[in-house]
Amino acid sequence: MSLFQRSVVSELLSHAGVVFSTLVVVWLSVLLVRLLGDAAAGSIGADVVLGLAAFSTITALPTILIASVFIAVLTTVSRNYRESEMVVWFASGLSLQQWVVPILRFAVPATVIVAVLTLMISPWAYRQIGEYRVRFEQRSDISRVVVGQFGETQGGRRVFVAEAPTGPDDELGSVFVREIDDEEGGRISVVTSNAARVQSMDNDDRFLVLDQGQRYDIVPGSAEARIVHFDRYGIRLERRDAEDAEAAARERANNITKARPTTLLLQDATPRADGELLFRLSLPLVMLNLALLALPLGAVNPRLGRSGDLILAGLVAMLYLNLVNLLRSWVADGQIGFLPGLVSIHLVVALLAFWLLRLRLRLRIPRSATK
């Protein structure tokens, strides 16, 4: 490897490392805020937040790597133009065409990594995320309780908070439960007790058994109220209404294609499987095309402002990724075939990169020489 290629590859790696670490930190920050909010609302368990964050980050790595490589090539080329280092390389007998080899040395390994992530690792991570959520859905209400923290189930119709247990046979201490029954005119029930435990029946039904407490029933808009004092009171757990079951089934149906191994997608001839397969095969091609496209897009005039060129390059990359997602949905809906959808967009972008590079390499005759 020549001095020129070592210099370019080293700078590309440095810029890509900075961009990659920054994007990962930003992604994790936004993701953790969302997951912690879901945990506080009772949608997921607090004990699976870190696991979900790790697997979700794995699924986002291909996109982060694509953005990192594109920005690294773009900023490296534009910096060489801006600081007149490109003039030195041109004076040494090199041209912009010689940049293709070191850029490929840098981009091809990254493309292989993206291919491994999209074809094998990301589907596995999606399966792990699905298993986390399914296991949490199958857990009883009592297992979702965090002592001293409000939690909710059944879409917010049941809200509870509990204290630490004091008795040796109790799983929870003092318990407060507020429940809304839509089948009885929106009746609101408030239950308090001194202790609680879980009891399983012979038919495998599970009940939260409350000891020594009171139940207050009121109907909004009515003066009727009822107060019941009890020594023992049971609340059935793990009962989900049809709406919740349908929503959960719909969410799993939407995510099951992402979680399927690539080998199964190849065996499946449905349009939905073809759309997911097109997306997985497209991401490595997007990586390679954007790396080559960044070369002519980064070749800027150092005397002019660079903001416009960088904004244009960012818009081109966003348009490319959005078109890939659009083709994915078209193939999944059967509006276009798999092979035309896969070849068309990537061939157009590759030809665009080649045309822009030829345009940058073409020498313009001075105006005075044409007169």
Task: Encode pLDDT of 117-146 as tens digits.
Answer: 999 999 999 988 888 776 666 554 555 555
User: pLDDT-derived band of residue 5, with 50, 70 and 90 as boundaries?
Assistant: confident
pLDDT of residue 138: 56
The residue count for the chain: 371
The tokens 């009746």 sit on which residue?
Answer: 187
Q: Which residue(s) pair with 232 in the sheet?
A: 211
The tokens describing 226, both together, are: 């009822």
CA-closest candidate to residue 90, choices 302, 339, 318: 302
Q: What is the pTM of this model?
A: 0.72
- Residue 265, pLDDT > 70, answer yes
Residue 107 contacts residue 288 (beta carbons within 8 Å): yes
CA 37, 43, 49, 53 dihedral sign is negative
Spatial neighbors of 121 by CB under 8 A, at least 6 apart, are 58
| DSSP string across 139-167 | S-TGGG--TTS-EEEGGGTEEEEEPPP-S
The tokens describing 330, both together, are: 């078209």
Measured CA to CA, the distance from residue 31 to residue 40 in angstroms comes to 14
Measured CA to CA, the distance from residue 153 to residue 141 in angstroms comes to 7
The tokens describing 6, both together, are: 């070592």
pLDDT of residue 370: 47
Span of 164-173, 216-225, 274-283 with lowest mean pLDDT? 164-173
Q: Which residue(s) pair with 199 in the sheet?
A: 207
DSSP strand E in 101-224: where?
151-153, 158-162, 175-181, 187-200, 206-218
CA-closest candidate to residue 289, choices 262, 324, 258, 340: 324
Spatial neighbors of 102 by CB under 8 A, at least 6 apart, are 4, 5, 8, 9, 12
Measured CA to CA, the distance from residue 284 to residue 366 in angstroms comes to 41
Spatial neighbors of 368 by CB under 8 A, at least 6 apart, are none
CA-closest candidate to residue 39, choices 135, 126, 131, 149: 149
- Residue 251, pLDDT > 70, answer no
Residues 78-109 have pLDDT tens digits of 888 777 777 777 777 777 788 888 899 999 99
Spatial neighbors of 233 by CB under 8 A, at least 6 apart, are 191, 193, 209, 210, 213, 215
Mean pLDDT, residues 275-283: 92
- Residue 150, pLDDT > 90, answer no
Q: What are the distances in angstroms from CA 158 to CA 121, 154, 170, 172, 294?
A: 38, 6, 21, 17, 54
More confident residue, 283 or 146: 283
Q: Is 266 exposed, middle or buried (0-12, 13-18, 19+ CB in 10 A)?
A: exposed
- Residue 253, pLDDT > 70, answer no
At position 147, the amino acid (one-letter code) is V
b/e per residue, 98-112, with b = 16+ CB within 10 A? bbeebbeebbeebbe
Mean pLDDT, residues 320-349: 90
- Residue 178, pLDDT > 50, answer yes
Give φ, ψ of 189 to 5 degrees. -115, 130
pLDDT of residue 241: 44
The tokens 């897009």 sit on which residue?
Answer: 297
Residue 122 contacts residue 58 (beta carbons within 8 Å): yes
Axis crossing angle, helix 100-116 with helix 3-41, rounded to the nearest 10:
30
pLDDT of residue 106: 92
